[in-house]
Amino acid sequence: MTAHATLFKPLTLGKITLANRIAMAPLTRNRAAAGNVPGPLAAVYYAQRASVGLIISEATQISPIGQGYIATPGIHSAEQIAGWRTVTQAVHTAGGRIFMQLWHVGRISHTSLLPDGQAPVAPSAIRAASKTFTSEGFVDVSMPRALRREEIAQTVADYRQAALNAMAAGFDGVEIHAANGYLIDQFLRDSSNRRDDDYGGSIDNRARFLREVVAAVSGVVGADRVGVRISPVSAFNDIRDSAPQALFEAVAAQMQALGIVYVHVIEGQTGGDRNTPFDYRALRRQFKGAWIVNNGYDAAMADTAITAGDADMVAIGRPLIANPDYLARVANGAALNPLDQATLYGGDAHGYTDYPTLTP
């Protein structure tokens, strides 16, 4: 008998049927080639993991000013689109489904990573107490400048074009990254958004940028191919809010009104403690689409969450780096490979495409 059989039930996601309830979480690996183009190894890496119900790609910048870390891929040039097309073809050939995560880091960047040494952009000129990864290693992020209104409109247009580019590259849909202290999250939170126009102040105003991005992207790819990722209580990248429960219940209700296909929620602190108090069920009551949960789940926890109705799907992160055959191991009760921490960020095939499987 298959262990954790609930995880192997199919799930309808818009017009797509997923084979099972495990998603591959977006996982930054810092292995893009020159021009921030995904290289040939990326196609191997993702195809190896195509047995999961849905792959969500590593975070992918929508524009040159949206980059925050060295060697992360983009989706704003013809070369990047072509590179990603080899990835989606490999995943589809292996029977998988893949969404692209659309990313703008906002203030979590460094002048050395941006065109002409520009300052990063943000809703307000408030520097984050955070670091980013450059050719010099981890360094403090640079002081950002506040986006002008016309630049906000251009950034929304950049998301729209990036979504079109993702579809041209063969993706099954897109996930808008509104979590982890990056640009959209910076607009949402009152610690990083001190604007005095209609993009700041009230919860409704602070959520305006997210709504505009979701509406623009949905308008070109269809809301049934759009997901949004949020992290209501995570302090990652020096982000916080004075009333996260009210904020994210409002966000969930607005995503319901926009008709997107899923919400992907990081529970607790990103990559850490899951126990920060928060009522996730209250969010789910506001949203009727698919609900994907994330952060420290193992197979037993995932089975319990889906069986209890607290999730439709569970995103798995680092265990899927070390175990491309994660689902086969779960089904057979087999031990998982340990993760090689030293090869997470940057490098070659080692720690990327050479993890052993049960049947070599």
Does 272 map to a domain? yes
Q: Give the domain range for residue 23.
A: 5-343
3-state class (DSSP) for residue 260: coil
pLDDT at residue 54, as a whole number: 98
Does 66 map to a domain? yes
pLDDT tens digits, one per residue of 58-117? 999 999 999 999 999 999 999 999 999 999 999 999 999 999 999 999 999 999 999 999
- Residue 204 sits in a domain whose CATH number is 3.20.20.70
Q: What is the mean pLDDT of residues 6-16?
A: 96
C-alpha 79/C-alpha 174 separation (Å) is 19
Q: What percent of the chain has pLDDT over 70?
A: 99
Does 354 map to a domain? no
Q: Is the pLDDT of residue 215 over 90?
A: yes
Does 360 map to a domain? no
Query: Quick one: tokens of 185?
Result: 């999250």
Q: Is the pLDDT of residue 271 over 90?
A: no
Does 348 map to a domain? no
CA 288 vs CA 143, 179, 215, 256, 311: distances in Å: 39, 20, 18, 7, 11
pLDDT at residue 3, as a whole number: 78
Q: pLDDT band at 272, cuts 50/70/90?
A: confident
Q: What is the mean pLDDT of residues 128-151?
A: 95
Q: CB count, 10 Å around CB of 245?
A: 16
Q: What is the mean pLDDT of residues 348-358?
A: 97
pLDDT tens digits, one per residue of 34-75? 999 999 999 999 999 999 999 999 999 999 999 999 999 999
pTM of the model: 0.98
Q: pLDDT band at 176, cuts 50/70/90?
A: very high
Q: What is the mean pLDDT of residues 206-229?
A: 98
pLDDT at residue 359, as a whole number: 83
C-alpha 280/C-alpha 311 separation (Å) is 10
Name the nearest CA neighbour of 207 among 233, 178, 180, 229. 178
Q: How many domains does the chain have?
A: 1
Q: Do residues 37 and 79 make contact, with C-beta atoms less than 8 angstroms apart?
A: yes
pLDDT tens digits, one per residue of 281-335? 999 999 999 999 999 999 999 999 999 999 999 999 999 999 999 999 999 999 9
C-alpha 336/C-alpha 150 separation (Å) is 50
Does 349 map to a domain? no
CA 71 vs CA 30, 33, 39: distances in Å: 5, 7, 11
Q: Mean pLDDT across the chain, nearest whole number? A: 97
If you count them, how many residues does the chain have? 360
Q: pLDDT band at 1, cuts 50/70/90?
A: low
Q: Which residues are marked as active site?
A: 182
Does 129 map to a domain? yes
Query: Quick one: tokens of 255?
Result: 């995503």
Q: Poorest-confidence range of 103-117, 239-253, 268-282?
A: 268-282
Does 281 map to a domain? yes
